Chain A
Amino acid sequence: MTDGPLIVQSDKTLLLEVDHEQAGAARAAIAPFAELERSPEHVHTYRLTPLGLWNARAAGHDAEQVVDALVRFSRYAVPHALLVDVADTMDRYGRLQLVKHPTHGLVLVSLDRAVLEEVLRQKKITPMLGERIDQDTVAVHPSERGRLKQALLKVGWPAEDLAGYVDGEAHPIDLHADGWQLRDYQQQAVESFWAGGSGVVVLPCGAGKTLVGAAAMAQAKATTLILVTNTVSGRQWKRELLARTSLNEEEIGEYSGEKKEIRPVTIATYQVMTTRRKGEYRHLELFDSRDWGLIVYDEVHLLPAPIFRLTADLQSRRRLGLTATLVREDGREADVFSLIGPKRYDAPWKDIENQGWIAPAECSEVRVTLTDAERMNYATAEPEDRYKIAATARTKLPVIETIVDRHPDDQVLVIGAYLDQLDEIGEHLNAPVIQGSTPNKERERLFDSFRSGETRVLVVSKVANFSIDLPEAAVAIQISGTFGSRQEEAQRLGRVLRPKHDKRQAHFYTVVSRDTLDAEYAAHRQRFLAEQGYAYTIIDADDLLRPL
């Protein structure tokens, strides 16, 4: 029994005591194979999952290293069954390989005949395979490469994809490094992505994911298709690429509801890709319109189901996924693993914040007590209306105003979900409102005016949840949200995390109505951030209104 920092639980979670002197070494040892689940202040929780172990195996770690790391840093004896299970699980990866055969094209090769026999007996897998070339080799229809990997993962025999990638149409892209350079973690992220071929890079909002994408493009030096969540964020990508790379205006195309340009680097929105007319996806030809060398998926955790299906057909192209969180509310993490690729890079938010790359943020929850009339209204409302009533209580107005007044020198974003509430606040604060129906041109204008400092307070609906770069926003006030979505909370916090020119602290306020569903949902959303190490301070609205 040693006095290590790690406690191995029989349910395959690992608890790492952060303040322990060996914590750093232990973290480095387990990071390759264990997935960080929570990182609150004192004890971080990692989990051993088949996906994680296979990720490690894909990166060249073997079971012995894993077992050694667990035993070396563990405080108590490690359950024998768990060690055996780790070895067994890791042993399953790579028994099957997808390789390019000189004459037969794409083939599935087994290093263990029994596994191949087992897999061949699976009803779902058989149709994807062609003729059997010899005892250990089976031809694979090239179009089934992605679906086969998905299916094999499901039966627990993930295949190692060694079939390589097409280079795609070459196109010169270079990073324009004047007065800036890639940060260490960005460099590492790009390197591990490139070494792995395809995969996902997980970085917090504001940590410069766009740059990782740009660097990957510079590495590939090929035509690139970038898929983003919406037009505004697409334009942002374009701006960033123009500023940071050798690409010029003519080389970057926008493929959205408004414009349909196909250029060496094309930025398309998920929405336009999944638009159907008469039951058919109209814009699929985009994928085939050029010989793309790289496909970048922004905000992978939001990737809609049809895109997964399309991606299954694109397995011979390099794919880079970018996201702040692999948490998917729909639980399709395994599809991300098999279709886009394993996680290639990941860094805890707090680490990046400590390095000064994202602004330190102070999170507060402001609790508002509803008036008696509002409480009565809430208590007697239909269950489906209750959240709205609690979230849009008028009592929040003076509180929001007070918070805005408390930060006279900062740029403030007020974020909400209900349009009439937003309008009301806009009027109250005399601030412009951006919502779904605001035309793109108007949005751009307002965002520009906010960026330049002309507009100090901006009221936005959930259109601003994603990928809008407002570097100078230092205060965000969240007044209502989409029920309990955890990744929404993370995204909204991300709005204020861009480092400020004067290293100022960012503030993130959530205004909730006490003792209502609003507070319950807020608690659920905050869990994610608390697990990322952000402590919440709770402030009573009355204390705010009556300054000390």
Chain B
Amino acid sequence: MALLRRRPDLALPAPVDISTLANRIGVRTSINRALDALDAYSLRVLEVIALLPSPVRRSELDGWFADRDATGRAVSNLRDWALIWGADHALHPVGAVREVLGPFPAGLGRTLADLYRAVNDLTLAPLLRRFGLPPAGQPAAGAAVADYIGSNLASLLAESTEEERAILRRLAAGPPIGTAREADSPVRGLLERGLLVAVDLRTVELPREVSLALREAPAGQVSATPPGLGVIERGGAAIDGTASTAVLDIVRLAELLVQAIADDPVGQLRSGGVGVRDLRRLAKQLDQAEDIVALLLEVSAEAGLLASSSVMDPTFLPTTEFDDWLAADTAQRWVRLAAAWLGMTRQPSLVGQRDDRDKTIAALSADVERHSAPGLRRQLLQLLADLPPGQAPDSAAAVLAQLAWRAPRRAAAHRSAATALLAEAATLGITGYGAITSFARALLDGMTAEAVRAEANAADLLRVALPAAVAEFLLQPDLTVVVPGPPTPELQRELGLTADLESSGGASVYRISPGSLRRALDAGRTGDDLLRFFAERSRTPVPQALEYLVRDAATQHGRLRVGAATSYLRCDDVALLDRVLAEPALAALGVQRIAPTVLVTGAALAPLLERLRAHGYAPAAESADGSALSLATEQPRLSVRPQSRNSRVRSSTIPEQQLVEVVQRLRAAEKLTAAINHATTRVSQDIPGVTSASILEILRTAVREDLTIAIGYVDDTGTPSQRTLSPISVGGGVVRGYDPSDTRLRSYPLQRITTVSLLED
């Protein structure tokens, strides 16, 4: 259990028995992930274990590390992670650990003996001469040189100049290889004395013995405890307070963004995502930097407020959940966004950067996907959460230094991502003054335990931190409205209708204009409603100019009337129309008078004519331009589309043989579907024609671990189908493998694959 919690990837797909699990423990990718989560000290201990010939005795390590207790803790930690096995007198690294750690564990190069064994005679000759050794050929020469250097290391090192020493120190700290330029005289000097070994024309390597002789601690500089994190006492209220301003902003911006997309939907690029031009437009509309807008887009999409429509021309549109979200209060809205951010496998800071093919990475595209993101995010925030409440780290750099100890591999690989994550956390109000806020802390706790309760907790805490909502405002003679605090949702709705937002933050400033008033009138408010609203809610008297403006807008509004009618009746004789209106038999047609000489009805032209004629009137039909219209020849007809060719073909008979095949195929598909439904790992391809990293990952896993997969495939006529495959290789844009049913070798182009599922036999 504990192991599976630490290395959750081992449980996916669920291992059938212990031997499968044991196998998986040693698999390269799994070890890679485990190493990413290891702290600097444990990692170094593991490196030393991997460096030494197995089995390693626990006491051997004491020669490498001064702090025995810490080393003991690290060893048991590594055992818990299932990265080493065996009792204290015989420790072994697990499976591919050596391979994953790379050629230079603990920053140490190969031994003298190993290095000189590989050197050619020509290079060895001057060394033999210099050391006064008898001329010889390989392998004896290499061994002799290595031996000599090993026993005279101190004196050889003592000959070094200051420049040479600097190079040696740098290489000794690791990694032990460097690039040598020809003119580099200090390097040449070292080569001549055998302290450096040229492994090829440009690269030199520092032998392990030389490194160890130079190092103060044999395993290199590594602290058994994390570096101190300087803190500033800010106080919980101040942290929450400053973050609450960010909360207000981000919630408002998310609303504006999605609203902007609703007003002018953003098309999806063919390669997926939002184009640079659209991103710029949104940034301009929101008056925010593009990276903020990219973050907002990603978070809103992750929170389900925004999605891409799946029609022919996909566009991004708000979802119905957006409306629910709008109805919630600020705290709940924020929780929704923050929770989405915490869990998302996307890295918005990639947007706008260039990918390997030098193409700009678009927001909401598959390229922003990073499976490492949630782990990194959680670890960074946990680091902040480990500080006592009210204390803020003194700088972002200090936080990153902490991370570098806690997870050195991760920190090194994701340094820029980690910096960006801290900035995102501040933008989102997860942190204030760099410290985690009480509400974000509550949310973080819910990541492992109960999410729903944690979200409610977070919302409650946030409500306390947010300034109290205000239900009144100040009206100014320049027709601006100032709400001196966050408005209540009701006030916000009403003001949003009658005025335009100009500035927001702690307070909101709205401007009333004829246009904004017209909008309110369009929504069904009357001029008196508006004046009453202003008078009731304003702390200051309503300026006369505003009164005039409202009255003017109200009089102007609705002077032109628009309605829907199907037919009209007109007649210059008002009395005749009176008669028609009074006719009880025509009441069913819903005839209404809109002007003395005009009647309208929702009934169609033909029944109206018929009814009028039946009652002794003599109406004439006219077209829109007033010319007479003859309806006499019109007979009722059904409008039917011509039958399509397909439907005619469909009605013909099918040969027996074909039927059998169909049934067979159906049954096979049924079985396959059942198997797919069983599958725990299934990835679909959202963007046709582009293979995402996750699909590739599954394919590669299947190749590596010899698994059977089901793929959704579209053939060259565009017909989708399901196929099963035991893949043997992925590459060159195709996946090759055997079809388990007939063991024939098949290959499928990757871009035609729409879904991939791992099947369990």
Measured CB to CB, the residues of A under 8 A from B are 1, 7-11, 13, 15, 17, 38, 40-43, 45, 74-81, 365, 514-515, 527, 530-531, 533-538
Which of B100-108, B130-138, B541-549, B746-754 contacts its partner? B541-549
Chain A residue numbers with a CB within 8 Å of B540 are: 41-42
Q: Is B139 an interface residue (CB 8 A)?
A: no
Instruction: Report yes or no: B482 in contact with A79, Cβ–Cβ below 8 A.
Output: no
Q: Which of A13, A42, A75 contacts B476 (CB 8 A)?
A: A42
Report Cα–Cα, A306/B555, bound state, in Å.
49
Q: Which of A43, A80, A514, A538 contacts B426 (CB 8 A)?
A: A80
Extra pairs beyond A75-B485, A536-B545 (17, CB < 8 Å) = A9-B504, A9-B505, A9-B507, A10-B248, A10-B249, A15-B484, A17-B474, A42-B474, A42-B482, A42-B540, A76-B467, A81-B427, A514-B552, A530-B545, A535-B545, A536-B544, A538-B545
What are the 3 tightest A-B residue pairs by CB atom distance, in nearest-first order?
A77-B241, A9-B505, A530-B478
What is the CB-to-nearest-CB distance from B69 to chain A, in angstroms, rounded to a whole number? 41
Name, among A7, A533, A536, the residue most crowded by chain B CB atoms within 10 Å (CB to CB).
Answer: A7
What is the CB-to-nearest-CB distance from B577 to chain A, in angstroms, rounded to a whole number? 29
Instruction: Report yes or no: B478 in contact with A527, Cβ–Cβ below 8 A.
Output: yes
Chain A residue numbers with a CB within 8 Å of B241 are: 1, 76-77
Instruction: Report yes or no: B245 in contact with A76, Cβ–Cβ below 8 A.
Output: yes
Chain B residue numbers with a CB within 8 Å of A75 are: 467, 484-485, 506
Instruction: Report yes or no: A81 in contact with B507, Cβ–Cβ below 8 A.
Output: no
Q: A13-B503, A15-B484, A80-B432 are in contact. Are A45 and B545 (CB under 8 A)?
A: no
What is the CB-to-nearest-CB distance from A14 to chain B, in angstroms, rounded to a whole number? 10
Name, among B287, B476, B484, the residue most crowded by chain A CB atoms within 10 Å (CB to CB).
Answer: B476
Instruction: Report yes or no: B242 in contact with A15, Cβ–Cβ below 8 A.
Output: no
Chain B residue numbers with a CB within 8 Å of A537 are: 544
What is the CB-to-nearest-CB distance from B221 to chain A, in angstroms, rounded to a whole number? 30
User: Which positions 232-246 of chain B face chain A at CB distance < 8 Å?
Assistant: 237-238, 241-246
Q: List 23 A-B contacts (CB under 8 A).
A: A7-B507, A9-B505, A9-B507, A9-B509, A10-B249, A13-B509, A17-B484, A43-B474, A43-B484, A45-B503, A75-B467, A76-B245, A77-B244, A77-B506, A78-B242, A78-B245, A79-B245, A79-B505, A80-B245, A514-B552, A530-B477, A530-B545, A535-B544
Q: A17-B484, A79-B242 are in contact. Are A40 and B478 (CB under 8 A)?
A: yes
Instruction: Report yes or no: B543 in contact with A7, Cβ–Cβ below 8 A.
Output: no
Chain A residue numbers with a CB within 8 Å of B507 are: 7, 9, 15
Instruction: Report yes or no: A9 in contact with B543, Cβ–Cβ below 8 A.
Output: no
Instruction: Report yes or no: B503 in contact with A40, Cβ–Cβ below 8 A.
Output: no
| B538 (CB) vs chain A CBs: closest residue | A42
Instruction: Report yes or no: A11 in contact with B505, Cβ–Cβ below 8 A.
Output: yes
What is the CB-to-nearest-CB distance from B530 to chain A, in angstroms, rounded to a whole number? 17
| Binary contact readout B19-40 vs A (1 if CB under 8 angstroms, 0 otherwise) | 0000000000000000000000
Chain A residue numbers with a CB within 8 Å of B509 are: 9, 13, 15, 45
Chain B residue numbers with a CB within 8 Å of A515 are: 552, 556
Q: A11-B505, A77-B241, A79-B245 are in contact. Are A40 and B556 (CB under 8 A)?
A: no
Report Cα–Cα, A314/B715, bound state, in Å.
76
| B474 (CB) vs chain A CBs: closest residue | A42
Instruction: Report yes or no: B504 in contact with A8, Cβ–Cβ below 8 A.
Output: no
| B432 (CB) vs chain A CBs: closest residue | A80
Report Cα–Cα, A7/B503, bound state, in Å.
11
Instruction: Report yes or no: B245 in contact with A536, Cβ–Cβ below 8 A.
Output: no
Chain A residue numbers with a CB within 8 Å of B548 are: 538
Q: Which of B246, B506, B552 contacts A7 (CB 8 A)?
A: B506
Chain B residue numbers with a CB within 8 Å of A17 are: 474, 484
Chain A residue numbers with a CB within 8 Å of B755 are: none
What is the CB-to-nearest-CB distance from B232 to chain A, in angstroms, rounded to a whole number? 12
Report Cα–Cα, A535/B544, bound state, in Å.
9
What is the CB-to-nearest-CB distance from B348 to chain A, in angstroms, rounded to a whole number? 17
Q: Which of A9, A80, A531 contacts B433 (CB 8 A)?
A: A80
Q: Is B480 an interface residue (CB 8 A)?
A: yes
Q: A76-B506, A537-B544, A538-B548 are in contact. Are A41 and B244 (CB under 8 A)?
A: no
What is the CB-to-nearest-CB distance from A263 to chain B, in angstroms, rounded to a whole number? 46
| Binary contact readout B566-581 vs A (1 if CB under 8 angstroms, 0 otherwise) | 0000000000000000
Q: Is B675 an interface residue (CB 8 A)?
A: no
Report Cα–Cα, A1/B242, bound state, in Å.
10
Q: Is B479 an interface residue (CB 8 A)?
A: yes
Instruction: Report yes or no: B287 in contact with A15, Cβ–Cβ below 8 A.
Output: no
Report Cα–Cα, A500/B334, bound state, in Å.
59
Chain A residue numbers with a CB within 8 Å of B556 are: 515
Instruction: Report yes or no: B478 in contact with A531, Cβ–Cβ below 8 A.
Output: yes
What is the CB-to-nearest-CB distance from B86 to chain A, in angstroms, rounded to a whole number? 51
Report Cα–Cα, A80/B476, bound state, in Å.
29
| Binary contact readout B463-503 vs A (1 if CB under 8 angstroms, 0 otherwise) | 00001000000111111101011000000000000000001
What is the CB-to-nearest-CB distance from A43 to chain B, in angstroms, rounded to a whole number? 5
What is the CB-to-nearest-CB distance from B288 to chain A, in angstroms, rounded to a whole number? 10
Report Cα–Cα, A11/B507, bound state, in Å.
11
Instruction: Report yes or no: B246 in contact with A79, Cβ–Cβ below 8 A.
Output: yes
Chain A residue numbers with a CB within 8 Å of B474 are: 17, 42-43
Instruction: Report yes or no: A1 in contact with B467, Cβ–Cβ below 8 A.
Output: yes
Q: A13-B509, A42-B474, A76-B506 are in contact. Are A81 and B482 (CB under 8 A)?
A: no
Instruction: Report yes or no: A535 in contact with B249, Cβ–Cβ below 8 A.
Output: no
Report Cα–Cα, A535/B542, bound state, in Å.
12
Report Cα–Cα, A76/B507, bound state, in Å.
9
Report Cα–Cα, A75/B287, bound state, in Å.
25
Q: Which of A38, A45, A79, A535 contacts B543 (CB 8 A)?
A: A535
Chain B residue numbers with a CB within 8 Å of A42 are: 474-476, 482, 540
Report Cα–Cα, A224/B525, bound state, in Å.
63
What is the CB-to-nearest-CB distance from A372 to chain B, in angstroms, rounded to a whole number? 15
What is the CB-to-nearest-CB distance from B487 to chain A, in angstroms, rounded to a whole number? 13
Report Cα–Cα, A534/B476, bound state, in Å.
11
Q: Which of B244, B426, B478, B506 contacts A9 (CB 8 A)?
A: B506
Instruction: Report yes or no: A43 in contact with B476, Cβ–Cβ below 8 A.
Output: yes
Report Cα–Cα, A38/B545, bound state, in Å.
17
Chain B residue numbers with a CB within 8 Å of A41 are: 476-477, 540
Chain A residue numbers with a CB within 8 Å of B249 are: 10, 79
Report Cα–Cα, A365/B549, bound state, in Å.
13
What is the CB-to-nearest-CB distance from A35 to chain B, in angstroms, rounded to a whole number? 14
| B480 (CB) vs chain A CBs: closest residue | A40
Report Cα–Cα, A515/B552, bound state, in Å.
8
Chain A residue numbers with a CB within 8 Å of B543 are: 535
Chain B residue numbers with a CB within 8 Å of A7 are: 484-485, 505-507
What is the CB-to-nearest-CB distance from A173 to chain B, in angstroms, rounded to a whole number? 42
Chain A residue numbers with a CB within 8 Å of B237 are: 1
Report Cα–Cα, A368/B401, bound state, in Å.
73
What is the CB-to-nearest-CB distance from B449 to chain A, in angstroms, rounded to a whole number? 30
Instruction: Report yes or no: B477 in contact with A40, Cβ–Cβ below 8 A.
Output: yes
Report Cα–Cα, A460/B456, bound state, in Å.
70
| B423 (CB) vs chain A CBs: closest residue | A81
What is the CB-to-nearest-CB distance from B436 to chain A, in angstroms, rounded to a whole number? 14
Name, among B478, B507, B552, the residue most crowded by chain A CB atoms within 10 Å (CB to CB).
Answer: B478
Chain A residue numbers with a CB within 8 Å of B478 are: 38, 40, 527, 530-531
Q: A9-B503, A10-B504 are in contact. Are A530 and B479 (CB under 8 A)?
A: yes
What is the CB-to-nearest-CB distance from B285 to chain A, in angstroms, rounded to a whole number? 14
Report Cα–Cα, A289/B241, bound state, in Å.
62
Report Cα–Cα, A240/B426, bound state, in Å.
59
Instruction: Report yes or no: B505 in contact with A77, Cβ–Cβ below 8 A.
Output: no
Report Cα–Cα, A11/B484, bound state, in Å.
15
Chain B residue numbers with a CB within 8 Å of A530 are: 476-479, 545
Report Cα–Cα, A80/B478, bound state, in Å.
31
| B545 (CB) vs chain A CBs: closest residue | A536
Chain A residue numbers with a CB within 8 Å of B504 are: 9-11
Report Cα–Cα, A75/B544, bound state, in Å.
30
| A13 (CB) vs chain B CBs: closest residue | B503
What is the CB-to-nearest-CB distance from A13 to chain B, in angstroms, rounded to a whole number? 5
Chain A residue numbers with a CB within 8 Å of B479 are: 530
Name, among B237, B287, B509, B556, the residue most crowded by chain A CB atoms within 10 Å (CB to CB).
Answer: B509
Report Cα–Cα, A1/B556, bound state, in Å.
46
